[in-house]
């Protein structure tokens, strides 16, 4: 419609800002709404279109950004007191790429503090609610980005996935949520949590939009030495609708006790659907799956303890001044006040796991387990193009249900963590609902197998309508979104 000039980007952006105004009082997906900048950018792109400029497919499309990605001159909080007033002096590479594509940034979305969590309840500011049921969590840590797309506040968004933070909230909100292969997307300007696991990925409503987002954000970047110099394929061209003869493996370790029956039924139905579309289904085994959570909760905290050492109250971010002149006391006080409970827990666990005498017993062992998990996947992808399993063991849970015991919260990531440990790609997409709530089906692919995953999701979406369903968000309360400071 934009291309045919049936609507303008200003109209489209205004419609999304109105929707934000309407639902934010209850959903609270945004930490910051950049209304003025968004309208200015929309006006600019409309102007370019009128002048006949050649514009890409995302030009004029309103997009939301997880507040873990640096945006030049726009406060980037990581939903932490530590960065509450931090204005980065540069844009993350993915932001630069979206800007170059003339996408419109609507604002920055809420998350678990420093991306640590699975419910967005660890935000230092406020929890985000699931648009499908406001008493439930949207998942996390990219809960704001997921909720914004699900509630129609943005057409797409970006999140980050270290152990499931894109796919898990995607599953809980009926969105398509892709974690790219490690090295596919530059992390320059992504505020680091666990550097050997972090990847940036898109939330969209369908596979086509995910292809457009991936096309824009993928590729080598001299500013991130881990962004691989691997050709970026034409993702949209992969969506042929034809999946005949594609081989899909069903890893038996992902269909264990503890999965809610509604989730199991939804994944089984998706397997049948793929079979009906001509895919070949077979069972496989990933025997080291059960060690995934244990290995992750050593490796991720270890890396986080190193990455978060930079928040010392001296260079940037929050600072608790100590008048006694004692630098150690000032740093301790900064970190005491600036970090929330979960972040402190991770820093302590990680520091412990890395300390002399424990390094071999914990960190080194976890890295060995990681290799075994990767080898499981290598063997499976020798036989299959993709693997299918649930994204999460259950549907969206109630706010507060898992906050008392961190371990029950960690268990949410049992099916998403192995992909990060192995560096492979994965996508969660809407399947059959369970008692009115969305269920995410997960497809895992080998390194750089994104086109395969998107082709499968697209084929599924051509014959199903789950992804087209939108929640009826309560619209009574007024907007509480904070405007840009």
- The residues, any chain, with a CB within 8 Å of residue 294's CB and separated by 6 or more, are 366, 369
Would you say 182 and 195 are in contact if contact means Cβ atoms under 8 Å apart?
no
The only residue of 132, 193, 381, 466 in contact with ligand GLN, by rule CB under 6 A: 193
145 binds ligand GLN (CB under 6 A): no
Catalytic residue among 26, 80, 119, 165: 165
Least distance between ligand GLN and beta carbon 347 (Å): 13
66 carries an active-site annotation = yes
Q: Which of 31, 65, 293, 300 binds ligand GLN (CB under 6 A)?
A: 300
Per-residue tokens: 455: 């082709």
By CB under 6 A, is residue 128 in contact with ligand GLN? no
> Which helix (DSSP H) or strand (DSSP E) does residue 427 occupy?
strand 425-430
Q: How far apart are CA 377 and CA 292, in angstroms?
A: 13
Instruction: Tell me if 141 contacts ligand GLN by CB under 6 A.
Output: yes
With respect to ligand GLN, which residue has the nearer C-beta, 201 or 219? Answer: 201
Find the binding residues for ligand GLN in span 228-267 (CB under 6 A). Answer: none
Q: Write out the binding residues for ligand GLN, residues 166-185 only, by CB under 6 A.
A: none
Q: Decide if residue 298 touches ligand GLN (CB under 6 A).
A: no
State which residue, 232 or 354, has the beta carbon closest to ligand GLN: 354
Q: Does 24 bind ligand GLN (CB under 6 A)?
A: no
In the three-class reduction of DSSP (H, G, I as helix; E, B as strand; rest coil), residue 322 is classed as coil
Q: Which stretch binds ligand GLN (CB under 6 A): 23-31, 160-168, 199-207, 326-334?
A: 160-168
Q: Is 397 in the site for ligand GLN (CB under 6 A)?
A: no
| 423, 185 contact by CB (below 8 A) | no
Rounded Cα distance between 438 and 120, Å, is 18
Size of interface with ligand GLN, in residues (CB under 6 A):
14
Residue 118 falls in the annotated catalytic set:
no
Nearer to ligand GLN, 34 or 160 (CB): 160
Question: Is residue 349 a contact partner of residue 122, using CB atoms and an 8 Å limit?
Answer: no
Q: Which tokens go with 155?
A: 């057409």
CA distance 230 to 210: 19
> Do the Cβ atoms of 249 and 214 come closer than 8 Å?
no
**Stretches 22-30, 97-105, 159-167, 434-442: which one binds ligand GLN (CB under 6 A)?**
159-167
| Residue among 155, 151, 160, 191 at smallest CA distance from 178 | 160
Integer Cα distance of 108 and 124 in angstroms: 15
Q: Is-catalytic flag, 141?
A: yes
> Contact residues for ligand GLN (CB under 6 A)?
115-118, 141, 160-165, 193, 300, 413
């Amino acid at each position: 419609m934009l291309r045919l000039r049936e609507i303008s980007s200003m109209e489209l952006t205004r419609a999304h800002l109105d929707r934000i105004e309407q639902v934010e009082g209850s959903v609270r997906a945004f930490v910051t709404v950049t209304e003025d900048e968004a309208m200015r950018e929309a006006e600019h792109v409309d102007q370019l279109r009128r002048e006949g400029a050649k514009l890409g497919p995302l030009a004029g499309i309103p997009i939301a950004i997880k507040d873990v990605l640096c945006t030049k001159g726009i406060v980037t909080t990581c939903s932490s007191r530590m960065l509450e007033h931090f204005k980065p002096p540069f844009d993350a590479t993915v932001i630069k790429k979206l800007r170059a594509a003339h996408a419109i940034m609507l604002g920055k979305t809420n998350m678990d503090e420093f991306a640590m969590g699975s419910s967005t309840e660890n935000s230092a500011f406020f929890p985000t609610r699931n648009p499908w049921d406001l008493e439930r969590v949207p998942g996390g840590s990219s809960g704001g980005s997921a909720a914004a797309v699900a509630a129609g506040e943005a057409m797409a968004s970006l999140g980050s996935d270290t152990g499931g933070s894109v796919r898990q909230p995607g599953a809980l909100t009926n969105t398509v949520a892709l974690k790219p292969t490690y090295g596919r997307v530059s992390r320059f300007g992504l505020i680091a949590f666990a550097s050997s696991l972090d990847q940036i990925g898109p939330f969209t409503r369908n596979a086509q939009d995910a292809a457009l987002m991936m096309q824009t954000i993928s590729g080598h970047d001299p500013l991130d030495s881990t962004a691989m110099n691997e050709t970026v394929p034409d993702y949209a061209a992969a969506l042929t609708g034809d999946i005949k003869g594609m081989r899909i493996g069903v890893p038996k370790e992902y269909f264990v006790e503890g999965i809610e029956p509604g989730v199991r039924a939804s994944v089984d139905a998706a397997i049948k659907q793929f079979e009906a579309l001509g895919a070949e289904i077979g069972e496989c085994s990933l025997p080291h799956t059960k060690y995934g959570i244990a290995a992750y909760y050593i490796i991720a905290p270890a890396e986080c303890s190193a990455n978060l050492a930079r928040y010392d109250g001296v260079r940037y971010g929050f600072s608790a001044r100590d008048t006694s002149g004692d630098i150690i006391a000032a740093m301790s006080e900064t970190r005491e006040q600036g970090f929330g409970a979960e972040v402190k827990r991770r820093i302590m666990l990680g520091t412990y796991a890395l300390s002399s005498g424990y390094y071999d017993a914990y960190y080194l062992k976890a890295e060995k387990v990681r290799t075994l998990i990767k080898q499981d996947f290598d063997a499976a992808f020798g036989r299959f193009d993709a693997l299918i399993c649930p994204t999460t063991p259950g549907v969206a849970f109630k706010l507060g249900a898992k906050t008392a015991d961190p371990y029950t919260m960690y268990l949410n990531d049992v099916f998403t963590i192995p992909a990060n440990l192995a560096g492979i790609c994965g996508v969660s997409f809407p399947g059959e609902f369970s008692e009115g709530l969305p269920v995410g089906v997960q497809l895992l692919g080998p390194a750089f197998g994104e086109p395969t995953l998107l082709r499968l999701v697209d084929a599924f979406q051509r014959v199903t309508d789950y992804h087209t369903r939108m929640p009826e968000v309560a619209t009574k309360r007024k907007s509480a979104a904070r405007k840009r400071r």
